[in-house]
Amino acid sequence: MGSRSLLPIAFTLLMGVPALAQGPTYGIGRTPTAEEIRARDISIGPTGEELPPGKGSAREGAIAYRTKGCAGCHGAAGIDGSAPILKSRNPTNPNVWARGRILPLRAPFATTVWDYINRGMPLNREGTLTPDEVYALTAYLLFINGVIPEDQVLDQQSLPQVKMPLGDNYASLPDWKPRTPRLKGYPY
Amino acid sequence: MGARRPARREFLKTGAALAGGLTLGAAAPALGQAPAQPPMIRGERDGEIGYGARSKHVTSARIPHGGRPSPDAFGLTFHVATPLQDSVGVITPSSLHYFATTRGAFLPDIDPRQHTLLIHGLVDRPLTFTVDDVKRLPSVTRLHFIECAGNRASRRAKTVQETHGMTSNAEWTGVLLSTLLKECGLKGSATWFVAEGAEEVKGASSMPIAKAMDDCIVAYAMNGEPVRPQNGFPLRLMVPGFEGIFHTKWLQRIKLVDRYYMNYNDFGHLDQDHKVAALDYQIGPKSVITFPSGEQRLPGKGFYEISGLAWSGGGAIAQVEVSVDGGKKWHKAEFRGTPQRMAHCRFAYAWNWDGNETEIMSRCVDDVGQAQPTREQIAKYWNRPYDQTFSVPGLDNSIQPWRIASDGSVTNGLA
């Protein structure tokens, strides 16, 4: 039974008023340790602040791509498998959107590619890749799409710095408000 | 037994039984041949005393959606659609509730005593809640639909299960997400949150904080019992009115952040056009006739109650209209029950079919003023040619016509 200190409740009662506007109301739930949060937090945002230590380049990634089974579903060249393609068939089109729905090309941040591989790959062995392998695979996929050079090492610092081809050329979302139509001026 | 029947029939004839209504299985015509006594379900059948089962004569079932088998050769489950053609009222039985997985998945077999929900990030006090903790907090119980973005009209689809079966409606019980977030103390910089499930891909979606504080529910029950594993046992995040994928199943973590986080599921929502992107979150106003619908057959001309479902991600349904002449004239339908916000509501329209070929359809308006369009109207708005190749941008909420042939057979009006 994880119950936090009853002190805040006692304090509130002593005050006799809801003085702690920011304080807990029910005192239910347990305070997790910093290590616990770190271990569970696999949401890698655009700044990359959650990235774990590790590093890898496309050279190691090319090996991991074969040994970790990626090629089995995505094809040896990333375009000839049963799973979604990982390399554009139309790589020179100046419009990135026209190059296809390809994660390492269309993701607005390299951190999105890292997050995706780390969570969801490889099929049926999710969560088994080491941070070095995820850095290396990310580097490999960015390399085969012409985003970074083959020898570039990706790590906590360099990964979030990668300039992705999409840039900010994607739709931002409207401010969501309750009880409003989903798109202003759209009658349907 | 047989010998006693005439005497019993005599008894019924006297009319004495009509007062009590006690005659089991003999809702029989008082005159003429009484139906034979049906066989009895005797004793306990496969644990049915402990947990009841439906009649063996009722066979309504979910089907894999979009042609992909589920489970597939690897045992992964994919999208499975609700048999809306058999639906009555507004509650989808939990056993028939549609479910979908991100890319095909095994079902997590979660021990609720081991499961926790971590809320962290831009909060004053990160907290871990056990399932029992969540159940101690003030609860809400609400009807809500969920609909998959893949619930699209198609010329190839034959039944309403195929055209619209990726939506279902249940009564959900849980704690408002805002209750949990207030307990943690939101920092002013928290403008988005990321919700994550416990399945193998740890599916994660970014959502605006305004939605979290408005009506999201961390649900532990559906239709009066714990949420089913296929629908997220032991905790599911309900995001009323948003596309199905946001309703994070097997909810294990919520992280408060200061921007759209572009995690796993977010990549799939990227769009070039801001209008399409805006239409890819909240479900539009939508309705469909479930009876009579594709592959059903009317036995002959005469009276029928046309029945269907209407819903909107923007609020409650304000009005449903039905046309029985291919969309020339529209008639107001009646509600069966009071429409709830972001929930299926049942509508009905009394119809005398003259036996001639025709087309029937429904349309609705919600309480924020959005109206369900025809596919032609949508094409016109987007300035695109309306032909067989036209695909509705964003989530498809177009009007579904059913064609009734003079022999009473019903087919997809888009085919």
Q: Which domains, and CATH codes, for chain A?
A: 7-31 (no CATH), 55-161 (1.10.760.10)
pLDDT tens for each residue of chain B, 415 residues long: 334 444 444 444 444 434 443 444 445 556 678 888 888 877 767 677 889 989 989 999 999 998 888 888 878 889 999 999 999 999 999 999 999 988 788 889 999 999 999 999 999 999 999 999 999 999 999 999 999 999 998 999 999 999 999 999 999 999 999 999 999 999 999 999 999 999 999 999 999 999 999 999 999 999 999 999 999 999 999 999 999 999 999 999 999 999 999 999 999 899 999 999 999 899 999 999 999 999 999 999 999 999 999 999 999 999 999 999 999 999 999 999 999 999 999 999 999 999 999 999 999 999 999 999 999 999 999 999 998 889 998 899 999 999 999 999 999 999 9
Residue A32 has pLDDT above 90, yes or no: yes
Are B196 and A43 a contacting pair at CB < 8 A? yes
Residue B2 has what pLDDT? 39
Four-point Cα dihedral B142, B145, B146, B152, nearest 10: -170
Identify whether the C-beta of residue A129 lies closer than 8 Å to the C-beta of residue A117.
yes
Closest Cα in chain A to B316: A179
Largest CA distance in chain A: 69
Tell whether the torsion through CA atoms of A103, A105, A106 and A112 is positive or negative.
Answer: positive
Residue partners of B193: CB distance under 8 A and separation at least 6: B121, B206, B207, B209, B212, B254, B255, B256, B257
Tell whether the torsion through CA atoms of A35, A41, A44 and A47 is positive or negative.
Answer: negative
Tell whether the torsion through CA atoms of B222, B224, B229 and B233 is positive or negative.
Answer: positive
Tell whether the torsion through CA atoms of A74, A79, A82 and A84 is positive or negative.
Answer: positive
- Is A137 exposed, middle or buried, given 0-12, 13-18 or 19+ CB atoms closer than 10 A? buried
Interchain contact B177–A (C-beta under 8 A): no
User: What is the C-alpha separation between A55 and A58, in angstroms, rounded?
Assistant: 11
A-chain residues near B194 (CB < 8 A): 43
B-chain residues near A116 (CB < 8 A): 263-264, 267
Interchain contact B103–A (C-beta under 8 A): yes
ipTM: 0.88
Interchain contact B263–A (C-beta under 8 A): yes
Interchain contact B6–A (C-beta under 8 A): no
Residue B72 has what pLDDT? 85
Are A171 and B273 a contacting pair at CB < 8 A? yes
CB atoms within 10 A of CB B285: 28
What 3-state class would DSSP assign to B197?
strand
Interchain contact A168–B (C-beta under 8 A): no
Are B314 and A183 a contacting pair at CB < 8 A? no
Residue B230 CA: distances (Å) to CA of A4, A52, B48, B88:
33, 32, 21, 22
Q: Write phi, then psi, for B61 (nearest 5 degrees).
A: -150, 155
CATH topology of domain B286-412: Immunoglobulin-like (2.60.40)
Å between B40 CA and nearest CA of chain A: 47
Residue B9 has what pLDDT? 43
- CB-nearest to B183 from A29, A43, A108 is A29
Give residues 18 to 77 of A whose Cβ lies within 8 Å of B. Answer: 22-26, 28-32, 36-37, 40-46
- DSSP code string of B82-144: --GGG--SSPPPGGG--B--SSSBPPP---TTT-EEEEEESBSS-EEEEHHHHHHS--EEEEE
Are B314 and A37 a contacting pair at CB < 8 A? no
Tell me the pLDDT tens digit for each residue of A36-87: 999 999 999 999 999 999 999 999 999 999 999 999 999 999 999 989 999 9
Interchain contact B328–A (C-beta under 8 A): no
- Is B219 exposed, middle or buried, given 0-12, 13-18 or 19+ CB atoms closer than 10 A? buried
Whether the upstream peptide bond of residue B339 has omega within 30° of 0, thus cis, is no
Where do we find the tokens 């909420």? B397
Structure tokens at B125: 């006090």
Strand runs labelled E in B267-353: 286-291, 302-311, 317-323, 331-332, 334-336, 345-353
Query: Where exactly does CATH 2.60.40.650 map onto chain B?
Result: 286-412
- DSSP code string of B39-50: PP--S--TTTTT
Closest Cα in chain A to B374: A188
Å between B135 CA and nearest CA of chain A: 10
Interchain contact B285–A (C-beta under 8 A): yes
- CB-nearest to A30 from B128, B137, B369 is B128
Query: Which candidate, B174, B173, B211, places its Cα nearest to that of B195?
Result: B211
Sheet-wide strand order for B345-353: B286-291, B302-311, B345-353, B334-336
Query: Which candidate, B366, B242, B263, B274, places its Cα nearest to that of B312?
Result: B366
DSSP-assigned letter for residue B256: E
Q: Are strands B127-130 and B116-121 parallel, antiparallel or unpaired?
A: antiparallel
Angle at A102 between CA A99 and CA A103, to 5 degrees: 140
Structure tokens at A54: 């590790």
**In the beta sheet, which residues pair with residue B167?**
B147
Instruction: Compute the residue count for chain A.
Output: 188
Helix axes A110-120, A131-144, angle to 10 degrees: 130
Closest Cα in chain B to A9: B183
Interchain contact B282–A (C-beta under 8 A): yes
Interchain contact B382–A (C-beta under 8 A): no
Are A45 and B370 a contacting pair at CB < 8 A? no
CATH 3.90.420.10 fits B116-270, yes or no: yes
Residue A117 CA: distances (Å) to CA of A48, A73, B76, B109, B262:
15, 14, 19, 23, 13
Q: Where are the alpha helices (DSSP H) in B137-217?
A: 160-164, 177-184, 209-214
DSSP run (H or E) holding B367: none
Are B270 and A22 a contacting pair at CB < 8 A? no
Structure tokens at B66: 């979009």
Interchain contact B274–A (C-beta under 8 A): yes
Residue B42 has what pLDDT? 76
Lowest mean pLDDT among A21-35, A173-187, B36-50, B107-121: B36-50
Residue A57 CA: distances (Å) to CA of A112, A127, A140, A152, B136:
17, 20, 7, 6, 49
Amino acid identity at B321: E
Are B381 and A97 a contacting pair at CB < 8 A? no
User: What is the C-alpha separation between A46 and A27, in angstroms, rounded?
Assistant: 33
Residue A11 has what pLDDT? 45
Query: Where exactly does CATH 3.90.420.10 map onto chain B?
Result: 116-270
- DSSP code string of B51-81: S----TT-----EESTT--SS-TTS-B--EE
Closest Cα in chain B to A39: B118
Angle at B125 between CA B121 and CA B130, to 5 degrees: 90
